[in-house]
Homo-oligomer: A and B are copies of this chain.
Amino acid sequence: MIQVIKNGTVITMDDKREKKYEKLDIVITEGEITELTENYQGPYDKIIDATNKIILPGLINCHTHLGMSIFRATNDNLNLQDWLNHKIWPIENHMTDEDVYYTTLLSCIEMIKTGTTTSNDMYFGVGGSLKAIEETKVRSVFSRCLTGKDSDSKKRIEEFKSLIKENQGKDLLTFTVTPHSMYTCSKEDLLEYEKIATEFHLPIHMHYSENQSEVEGIIKEYQTSPAQALKDLGYLNHKLILAHGTFISEEDQRILASHDVSIATNPVSNLNLGCGIADLVQYKKNGINLCLGTDGQGSGNNLNMFYHMSVVDQLQKAKYQDPTVMGSYDVLKMATINGAKALNLENKIGSIEKGKKADMIILDLNNTEIYPTVDLITQVVHNVESNNVDTTIINGKVLMENHKLTIEVDEEKLKENIHKIIDRLMEKEAK
């Protein structure tokens, strides 16, 4: 099947092109971008008219817990440890795989509606989660969060290994190994998890240096810096995605930069839980690949990457009291091509280029509330809301067109189910 997206203004995120955006027709053949041209006149099966609209690579959310949608915006006035210990973990313990199916399904729809086409997820209840991901046809880098503490730890590892084997070669699904963090997993556990990464050639995704007290704890426990400790554990021999990285010393930045490490920053979650503002400007100077995550909705409020892009840009400008240290285009890179690099998917996604998979979104910026668009890139990063996301395409498949989902899902029924889960699990907390 040949689909053509006609007459749109394309922000390709392809640094090899001269312009940051240009009028281009995009030809998609069997899910792959086969042509980018000024006025396509060839054959087609379907045309999508993008006149006066903007086309962008699908956004890549590099740190999610898709199953946490029912904890949305529950972080007010709570620091990280209190929030986890009192608000999240006691409730999560009662969640079933079926619960996680519904909560993940809600997150997948939120992503499609807000323009995210790939997530890098870690959670539990993997059976339910994977079912939701596959049903909604979003691209996923997936894992089972390994916490070590679990009494069924060994069993979980075996289950996870089976999961990887069963799902090899799928178009929309790849895996990472995800120890929860150095502060929740023992050294022995971490060494055990590292073996899985070696066995299956998988990247490792984990929480890292989320707040200052975590860093202090690691230094005390390992008698060395967090990055050096990771190195000693063999983790820097793997492709590594470190979520948060709010506090990284200059010396540790250099260690990380000399290996295949990406920092997935979660600015909104860090603000909400009082973890502080990561020094991304310095990380970038030192050569670390920076990508963007929302974290779960509990601490990050939502999965709308546009909101998170706006915040991360503004924060660095504020931190330095200098608006020239970062910019809208840098942030757009974090949410697209840098994310693809972090997830080992740069040959497939992250930019609109011939030969890549057709993961892209179409934005309509013509509503009065955000009119006019004077500087396109700044407008996209700072003023786009979910209702500006018009169409979402993953792997060439149109999952939403003109704001209407094309996948089969009964949104009202889903919300009812979510409501029931909350009633059961969170009644005491919901007041």
Q: Give the B-binding residues of A (Cβ under 8 A).
A: 69-79, 106, 109-110, 113-114, 211-212, 268, 270-277, 301-302, 304, 310-311, 314-315, 317-318, 320-324, 327-328, 366, 368-375, 377-379, 382-383, 385-387, 411, 414-415, 418-419, 422, 426, 429-430
B74 with A368: CB separation less than 8 A: no
Residues of B within 8 A of A75 (CB): 323, 378
Cα–Cα distance between A386 and B385 once the two chains are bound (Å): 8
A100 to chain B, nearest CB (A): 15
**With contact pairs A74-B375, A77-B323, A322-B79 given, residues A314 and B422 touching in the complex (Cβ less than 8 Å):** no
Given A369-B386, A387-B387, 11 other A-B residues pairs in contact with their CB atoms under 8 A? A71-B374, A72-B373, A73-B378, A109-B369, A271-B315, A274-B317, A274-B321, A277-B318, A301-B310, A368-B415, A372-B418
- Contacts of A373 on B, CB cut-off 8 Å? 72-73
Report which of B320, B374, B411, B426 forms a contact with A74, defined as CB distance below 8 A: B374
In Å, the complex CA distance between A70 and B370 comes to 10
A396 vs chain B, min Cβ distance (A): 24
Q: Nearest Cβ in chain B — how far from A332, in angstroms?
A: 11
Complex: how many Å from CA A379 to CA B301?
8
What CA separation (Å) do A85 and B71 show in the bound complex? 46
Q: Which residues of B contact A414 (CB under 8 A)?
A: 368
Residues of B within 8 A of A274 (CB): 317-318, 320-324
Q: Note all chain B residues with C-beta closer than 8 A to A371.
A: 69, 72, 106, 415, 418
Contact B109 A382 (CB under 8 A): no
A370 to B212, CA, bound (A): 31
CB <8 Å contact, A372 and B317: no
A74: chain B residues at CB < 8 Å are 374-375, 378
Q: In the complex, how many angstroms separate the beta carbon of A279 from the nearest chain B beta carbon?
A: 13
Give 19 A-B contacts (CB < 8 Å), ordered by A residue.
Answer: A69-B372, A73-B373, A73-B375, A75-B323, A76-B377, A77-B324, A79-B323, A109-B368, A211-B321, A270-B318, A271-B314, A271-B318, A273-B323, A274-B320, A274-B322, A301-B382, A374-B426, A385-B387, A386-B387
Chain B residues contacting A379 (CB-CB under 8 Å) are 72-73
Whether the Cβ atoms of B71 and A422 lie closer than 8 Å is no
Task: Report chain B residues within 8 Å CB of A377.
Answer: 76
A110 to B73, CA, bound (A): 26
Chain B residue nearest in CB terms to A73? B378
Known A-B contacts A317-B274, A426-B374; A411 and B70 likewise in contact (beta carbons under 8 Å): no
Could you say which of B72, B78, B310, B369 contacts A374, with CB atoms under 8 Å apart?
Answer: B72
Please determine whether B72 and A368 come into contact, CB atoms closer than 8 angstroms. no
Expressed in whole angstroms, the Cα–Cα distance for A39 and B274 within the complex equals 42
* B residues less than 8 Å from A318 (CB atoms): 270-271, 274-277, 315
Q: Is the CB of A415 within 8 A of B366?
A: yes
- With A and B bound together, what is the CA distance between A76 and B323 in angstroms? 7
Chain B residues whose CB sits within 8 angstroms of the CB of A302 once the complex forms: 369-370, 382-383
Contacts of A301 in B (CB 8 A): 310, 382-383
The answer to whether B271 and A317 touch across the interface, beta carbons within 8 angstroms, is yes
Q: When the two chains form the complex, which single residue of B70, B78, B320, B328 contacts A323, counting CB atoms closer than 8 Å? A: B78
Q: Which residues of B contact A272 (CB under 8 A)?
A: 314, 317, 323
Cα distance A353–B272 in the bound complex, in angstroms: 31
**Which residue of B is nearest A83, CB measured?**
B323
